[in-house]
Amino acid sequence: MAKQLEGKVAAVTGAASGIGLASSEAMLAAGARVVMVDRDAAALQALAGKHGDAVTPLVIDLLDPKACATLLPAILERADQLDILHANAGIYVGGDLVDADNSAIDRMLNLNVNVVMKNVHDVLPHMIARGTGDIIVTSSLAAHFPTPWEPVYASSKWAINCFVQTVRRQVFKHGVRVGSISPGPVISALLADWPAEKLEEARAAGSLLEASEVAEVVMFMLTRPRGMTIRDVVMLPTNFDL
């Protein structure tokens, strides 16, 4: 791949695994310096050892409000600028609502919605002052379809889809692009919480995506000419849409 992101600094949350890791490695391959944000210090250190100086590990528990507020200052302390934010960190709650734990609902809504809003809020002044920037949020196919086996998770993604599209309309005049990627089921740790019958059905049908396939679409969004915004990409395995 050509070094299309040479000279850019990106920050990716939830970067130690799954889509966040695949996105980080795609940006690294394109020449970006990547601040990999996660709470898993050991995993980040291993990735820094693997990729060298192009990776800056940043250990933050985004569910801790005080720690979450340090995101941008910590990035700028290490990298001086921020060109790209991939707000990817998230968790999953599936199953029947009556079986859900209230504390798990609170934790998921906090990370999937509140943290994303706070992270975007905090980086926007820096990007607006520079007159450029890209923000991509990991959403979900669940933001576009009322998935009956995941009402809590789907609701969080519907909320964040609205957030992405309204903020985009506020900040495009400042040269900042905001978009979301909405994949169907991706092979990642999140699927461990899927209802067993749905997971086996998806596996048998070949209707799962690889994280690397999502990262390819993230790269497509980031490398469009500045006059073009990819507002939202819904991507799903062909066999999932039966």
Q: What is the DSSP string of 105-157?
A: HHHHHIIIIIIHHHHHHHHHHHHHHHT-EEEEEE--GGGTS--TT-HHHHHHH
Centroid of chain to Cα 85 = 9
Q: Distance between CA 70 and CA 64 in Å, rounded?
A: 10
Which listed residue (5, 16, 38, 153) is catalytic?
153
Torsion on CA atoms 220, 226, 231, 232, rounded to nearest 10:
10
Active-site residue flag, 92: no
Measured on CA atoms in the order 213, 183, 131, 66, is the torsion positive or negative? negative
- State both tokens at 149: 């086996």
Q: Distance between CA 36 and CA 47 in Å, rounded?
A: 9
Q: Which residues pair with 9 in a beta bridge?
A: 33
- Terminal-residue alpha carbon distance, the chain: 34
Torsion on CA atoms 116, 164, 184, 212, rounded to nearest 10:
-70
Indicate which residues carry an active-site annotation. 153
